[in-house]
Amino acid sequence: MNEHETLEVIGKPYPKKDARIKVTGECPFGGDIQVPGMLHGKMLRSPHAHARILSIDTSKAEKLKGVRAVVTGKDFPGILYGNFMHTRDYLPLAIDRVRYMGEEVAAVAADDEDTAWEALNLIDVEYEPLPAVFHHEEAMKEGAPLIYDDKPGNISCRSVWEFGDIEKGFSESYLIKEDTYRTQPIKHGMLETHTCIGFWDANDKITLESCKQSPYVVWRQLAMGLGVPPHNVRMKQTFVGAGNSGGKQEAMPMDFASVMLSRKTGRPVKIVHTMKEVLTIGHMRHPFKIDLKIGVDKEGIIKAVDCYAIADGGAHTSIGQLSIYLLGAFFMAAYKIPNVRYQGYRIYTNKSWPGALRGHCAPQSRFAFEGLLDDIANELGLDHFEIRKRNAITPGYEGPNGFKITSCGFKEALDKAKEVSGWDKKKGKLPKYRGIGLGAAGFATGANIMGMSACSALLKVQEDATVALQSGATDVGQGCDTVLPMIVAEVLGIEPDDVSFALVDSDYTPIDGGTWGSRVTFYAGNAVKVAALDARKQLAQVAAEILKAKEDDLVFKKKKVFLRGNSDKSIELDRLIRHCQNRKGMTIMGRGYYNAPAEIPDHITGKGNFTPTYSFYVQVCEVEVDPETGQVEILNMWTAHDGGREINPMLVRGQLLGAALMHQGQALFEGLIRDDKGRTLNPSFLDYKMATSMDIPARQEFYSMEMPDPEGPFGAKEAGEGSGTPTLAAIANALYDAVGVRFTELPIIPEKIYRAMNKKG
């Protein structure tokens, strides 16, 4: 395909393929699925944050009318599962010990949900309470209770590195500033709770149908924890009611329980979590304490950065080895830092555990870095945009940790954000209690981080010139069900509506790493493009015979194949396909796969370029504070981004808006509240406050640099997660401008603002 041909589909605002069935309520989510003979399952949870399990008596529950089976941890093979080999600490159900309040210890299958709930109350568990620790700083101290006996200091995992000469860098610095920043745990906030239907048939084939964002991750973990070969497991994806990158990433105790209950009963078992369960158990965003020090010369050029960070890791590691690495890595993704030291520790506590969440530790990283950089600019008398431009990453730059920058429109984004926000007319000139601030960030476009990072795709071209596309990629609301068909349509000269997109079924769809790290458009998009080009080549060979032309001279557009420069010499695409099938005996099937030119980094030493390309964001926020209440109103927000070429601008705008709004909640009011016993105090959306459509600023504008990336499909880079990573910093910096107080702890609730303003006088 000649990339210089005019693009017919790419860059157009096609509506999302599943939009109609979702707004009309026709879309069948996991909770809507009913299977003949289906039983209903429920999970029994520990009332203790830390305790030994002395005995579990299920006899009363098993005798209750309507109860078909009960399982405990001893029904499973006792195999630990998880993401990284050296950090696996999950069991399907607790066996000897519980480590947080709400941990699963048993499960029941019954004819209906009410009976299953009643049966849970009849299970008698004898516990021996153990000392518990609930704060990560306390958990590190000598003598603190150990959550795992073989983990001294309660260290779940660490990432420690030093590049360059940190002491020399600080000795050459004209100004050195340091501060401590704290961030809170927040939940994903998906409206659809976790749901699964498990079936273990008489042939030992295990089927799990569930709303997972990375079905093949669950497929592997399910096989691992059950001790069965992966080919015995079939993973079927339902429509996903949002996952927000991490919330529905892994196998969960409910998944294991549903299939084991099915094995005992011979019937499918459905388990649906309540919202209280979702808000009580893991996953969530990591809370961090970040001690950060930055040294600069007289011109504001960064000479050295030193960071010591500890994260509250809760009772399980989950994806935590990657998380603690990423906090430090994202310091390196926006500015040139010649000398850096990072010490990151993830600490076990007796609470439910954090994992991946949109932006995956980049928002916390940028909140600290951008705030301290603003303080440095203020002390040096430098404009906040200027200090960032002087240090900005540029094309061709290679960081001391191995990050390799290819396409980069960071400086262009800085210039655009400054222009459209009217920064020069507003900074230092706004009315009292109004302020303007900015945040900037670089983010990864997918990542080679573990096991399966590549993507593959299969497509079948049908005789009516439509295409059946199969990919292991999962749509969680971001729009790959539309973007990937758009890529096929562009290559074959058809419409996106002519391309169907199949839900993942591990027995049929190609294997895939899943939906995380803003990887799908880039990785799966490249695989889909290769598959479409494969099909196009097969068609072009036959078309060249019919039209007596060279394959390279053929153009595929508007459901025709014609000679470049002579559209009269053509053949309709459906006629060509039928000719291939009927006359040649050819079924046109395209196959493609893609793995990015990136490394698997050393998560402990920090070395390695883990992504093929980086996107860049600059966000400016204008706020107004009510001096009587401390309430914050976000008046305006501008985002300039370098996300390569936008394949579907409408969907990109949706991602940018949603990411900014989500992080707006974390900045100003959102957070999980737990007492000194590990109990969640706001386990419902009545008390757990998230940003809604009512919180969208009256003016929110987005500007794309439209700088195609040479490696991306049609030049695209990521736009789903990175767009929210500078939001915390932009809001905090705007608040500093409005009230003259540096807030270093999230969320910045009205009470904090009011008290700080009164203290300042």
Give the 3-state secondary structure of residue 216: helix
Q: Write down the pLDDT at residue 78.
A: 94
Residues 195, 212: Cα–Cα separation, whole Å:
9
Is residue 252 predicted with pLDDT exceeding 80? yes
Amino acid at 621: C
Query: In the chain, what are the domains?
Result: 32-130+194-272 (3.90.1170.50), 288-445+613-760 (3.30.365.10), 451-594 (3.30.365.10)
| DSSP sequence for 453-489 | --EEEEEEE-TTS-EEEEES---SSSSHHHHHHHHHH
Residues 302, 659: Cα–Cα separation, whole Å:
29
Q: Write down the pLDDT at residue 568.
A: 87
Q: Write down the pLDDT at residue 513.
A: 86
**Among the listed ranges 101-115, 680-694, 727-741, which one has the minimum average pLDDT value?**
680-694
Is residue 3 predicted with pLDDT exceeding 60? no
What would the mean pLDDT of 14-29 be, rounded to a whole number? 91
What would the mean pLDDT of 739-753 be, rounded to a whole number? 97
What would the mean pLDDT of 562-571 be, rounded to a whole number? 92
Amino acid at 496: P
| Per-residue pLDDT band at 5 (split at 50, 70, 90) | low
Other CB atoms within a 10 A radius of the CB of residue 674 amount to 19
Q: Write down the pLDDT at residue 1.
A: 58
Q: Write down the pLDDT at residue 325.
A: 95
What would the mean pLDDT of 396-423 be, rounded to a whole number? 97
The string of pLDDT tens digits covering residues 634-674 is 999 999 999 999 999 999 999 999 999 999 999 999 999 99
Amino acid at 490: E
Give Cβ neighbours of residue 641 (< 8 Å, ≥ 6 apart): 413, 615, 616, 617, 618, 656, 702, 703, 704, 705, 719, 722, 723
Other CB atoms within a 10 A radius of the CB of residue 431 amount to 8
Amino acid at 599: E
What would the mean pLDDT of 490-505 be, rounded to a whole number? 96
Query: How does DSSP classify residue 715?
Result: G
Amino acid at 300: G
| Closest to 486 (Cα-Cα) out of 641, 649, 615 | 649
What would the mean pLDDT of 617-641 be, rounded to a whole number? 97
| Per-residue pLDDT band at 677 (split at 50, 70, 90) | confident
Cβ 455 vs Cβ 443: under 8 Å: no
Q: Write down the pLDDT at residue 450.
A: 66
The string of pLDDT tens digits covering residues 288-329 is 999 999 999 999 999 999 999 999 999 999 999 999 999 999
Determine what percent of the chain falls in helix, strand and coil, rounding each to the nearest 5.
30, 25, 45
φ, ψ for residue 535, nearest 5 deg: -65, -40
| Residue carrying the six token digits 């964001």 | 617
Q: Write down the pLDDT at residue 451.
A: 64
Is residue 94 predicted with pLDDT exceeding 60? yes
The string of pLDDT tens digits covering residues 421-433 is 999 999 999 999 9
| HSE-up (13 A, CA, CB side) for residue 112 | 3
What own/partner pairs with CB < 8 Å and gap ≥ 24 does 60-66 have?
60/122, 60/123, 60/124, 61/108, 61/119, 61/120, 61/122, 61/123, 64/110, 64/115, 64/118, 64/119, 64/122, 65/115, 66/110, 66/111, 66/112, 66/115
The string of pLDDT tens digits covering residues 124-153 is 999 999 999 999 999 999 999 999 999 999
Is residue 4 predicted with pLDDT exceeding 60? no
| Per-residue pLDDT band at 599 (split at 50, 70, 90) | confident
Exposed / middle / buried, residue 214 (Cβ in 10 Å: 0-12, 13-18, 19+):
buried
Average pLDDT of the residues of the chain: 95
The string of pLDDT tens digits covering residues 441-452 is 999 998 887 667
| HSE-up (13 A, CA, CB side) for residue 106 | 27
Structure tokens at 651: 């969907």
- Tell me what percent of the residues of the chain surpass a pLDDT of 70: 99
Cβ 664 vs Cβ 656: under 8 Å: no
Q: Are strands 195-200 and 269-272 parallel, antiparallel or unpaired?
A: antiparallel
